[in-house]
A and B are shown apart, each in its own frame.
Chain A
């Protein structure tokens, strides 16, 4: 008997994600994958899955699903939301067993944006180009979840869960401080130091393609000069002509023509996945050399 999860309510956006499909840039296909990889990996570890099995990425809660065909171990990680089984709350970042016929729900988070639901065995939807990740820009991979979708659970491998609870700091609602390594196109800006001096605010117009920051526009050194298309990466801070930075997310286009003033330290890209519209962000140059130059008015 195949165990499955029947989606009762997907909430604002629920997607199947794993660690993505690297290696297809040459045909214009981006890596995609879980926006908060740290939370995705933790959810899988808690249910003794390999890290690259598919989880459900649940944005702003509102999610409910019923287990069919048998019981399964599960875990919910990520944003400050309240998960429950048949209405009875249970803890984030801990493994629980849900019985056949019971309903799992994940409420709206008080802080953060995205939760990750892992089940032991993973979600065994058909992979596309080697991955089960939903790429919201290109449409490659499983479509966004809808009520009535039935997601098969894979056969578990490995030992029964050994860790039952992981001590994880809660996702913060306060200002986020993110570290940026300068370049490759910081020289395209009149005053790159302004990136670190500005208090940015996360815009509503943010999604898996990119997080848009609002604040005093950054000035391009040569406003009419076009940058030849070049490769881009997750965590890169691209600045279009309007001077409002965009932090590229997992579903960013493979190449782009706007200069990248700096790229977030890899570990901080998972923090970006939990930023809410209206949240404040400070960006900090990671190398001492640039920070000193900015202070001296370069």
Chain B
């Protein structure tokens, strides 16, 4: 890796800065493939990869090991695609439309027109931050988060799109809903969306 910024995270972690979520996806995948024995978990974020180590005192040796890791080219990252059916009747459609200068039809076409990709997971089990969608759909989070967002809500915030796996508080802009099961502890694997997967949204009529 060329001169990434790496900071100590306490005495048992390292935080690596990246230029974009696409870079994060590649780096996290390369780290996972390297299977460094001292690494206990890899937590990708929007612009960072946090590496949790097995014990204190390992940071120097992991920093050396990181110098030999080269982010994978795309054919070794997850490549499967999933289609998510969405009813585009979200509460915030009008507000999003006003913010981006499009009508509902335009938003739907932008959201479904290109493939998104799972950049990283977090926030709650089964939640995936989707990247790489239509650039016109960048909107801020809501200024006041809601105490209850329904399970299956399809949403936008910043550069990301996402789907709420279960009812929870949330500050993202709601544009639709899906019946897809994002998280099922009894299923193997329990999460529908994992880093690298491609996601195609498809507009459907209400069920």
Residue from B40, B42, B121, B122 having most chain A Cβ neighbours under 10 A: B122
Contact code string B44-81 (vs A, CB < 8 Å = 1, else 0):
11111110100110000000000000000000000000
Contacts of B90 in A (CB 8 A): none
Complex formed: what's the CA distance from A228 to B8 in Å?
A: 18
Contacts of A167 in B (CB 8 A): none
Q: Which of A158-166, A200-208, A209-217, A263-271 contacts its partner? A: A263-271
Contacts of A223 in B (CB 8 A): none
Whole-angstrom distance from the CB of A256 to the nearest CB of chain B?
A: 8
Residue on B nearest A230 in the bound complex, by CB: B45
The answer to whether B185 touches A128, judged by C-beta atoms less than 8 angstroms apart, is: yes
Contact code string A21-61 (vs B, CB < 8 Å = 1, else 0):
01111111101000000000000000000000000000000
A157 within 8 A of B: no
Contact code string B145-165 (vs A, CB < 8 Å = 1, else 0):
000000000000010000000
The answer to whether A231 touches B8, judged by C-beta atoms less than 8 angstroms apart, is: no
The answer to whether B43 touches A254, judged by C-beta atoms less than 8 angstroms apart, is: yes
Contact code string A166-195 (vs B, CB < 8 Å = 1, else 0):
000000000000000101100000000000
The answer to whether B123 touches A183, judged by C-beta atoms less than 8 angstroms apart, is: no
Residue on A nearest B48 in the bound complex, by CB: A230
- The A-B contact count (CB < 8 A) is 122
The answer to whether A26 touches B45, judged by C-beta atoms less than 8 angstroms apart, is: no
A84 within 8 A of B: no
Complex formed: what's the CA distance from A232 to B41 in Å?
A: 11
Contacts of A262 in B (CB 8 A): 10
B194 within 8 A of A: yes
Complex formed: what's the CA distance from A228 to B21 in Å?
A: 10
Q: Which of B11-19, B91-99, B104-112, B198-206 contacts its partner? A: B11-19
Contacts of B127 in A (CB 8 A): 28
A236 within 8 A of B: yes
Contact code string A1-34 (vs B, CB < 8 Å = 1, else 0):
0000000000000000000001111111101000
A140 within 8 A of B: yes
The answer to whether A181 touches B46, judged by C-beta atoms less than 8 angstroms apart, is: no
Contacts of A29 in B (CB 8 A): 125
The answer to whether B43 touches A25, judged by C-beta atoms less than 8 angstroms apart, is: yes
B116 within 8 A of A: no
The answer to whether B10 touches A235, judged by C-beta atoms less than 8 angstroms apart, is: yes
The answer to whether B47 touches A140, judged by C-beta atoms less than 8 angstroms apart, is: no
Contacts of B120 in A (CB 8 A): 26, 255
A245 within 8 A of B: no
Complex formed: what's the CA distance from A27 to B50 in Å?
A: 15
The answer to whether A254 touches B121, judged by C-beta atoms less than 8 angstroms apart, is: yes
The answer to whether B123 touches A253, judged by C-beta atoms less than 8 angstroms apart, is: yes
Contacts of B43 in A (CB 8 A): 25-26, 230-233, 254-255
> Contact partner of A22 among B41, B50, B124, CB < 8 A?
B41
Contacts of A24 in B (CB 8 A): 41
The answer to whether A230 touches B125, judged by C-beta atoms less than 8 angstroms apart, is: no
The answer to whether B124 touches A266, judged by C-beta atoms less than 8 angstroms apart, is: no
Complex formed: what's the CA distance from A33 to B10 in Å?
A: 19
Contacts of A235 in B (CB 8 A): 10
Complex formed: what's the CA distance from A10 to B177 in Å?
A: 40
Within 8 A of A (CB), among B6-46: 7-13, 15, 28, 40-46
Whole-angstrom distance from the CB of A175 to the nearest CB of chain B?
A: 22
Residue on A nearest B15 in the bound complex, by CB: A184
Contacts of B46 in A (CB 8 A): 228-230
Q: Beyond A26-B44, A138-B125, is A236–B194 a contact (Cβ under 8 Å)?
A: no
The answer to whether A183 touches B41, judged by C-beta atoms less than 8 angstroms apart, is: no
The answer to whether B123 touches A28, judged by C-beta atoms less than 8 angstroms apart, is: yes
B88 within 8 A of A: no
Complex formed: what's the CA distance from A138 to B165 in Å?
A: 11
The 10 closest A-B pairs by CB, nearest first: A231-B43, A231-B50, A255-B122, A263-B10, A230-B45, A228-B46, A27-B191, A25-B43, A184-B7, A28-B121
| 11 A-B pairs with C-beta separation under 8 A | A23-B40, A24-B41, A25-B121, A25-B122, A26-B44, A28-B121, A28-B128, A138-B124, A233-B52, A260-B9, A265-B10
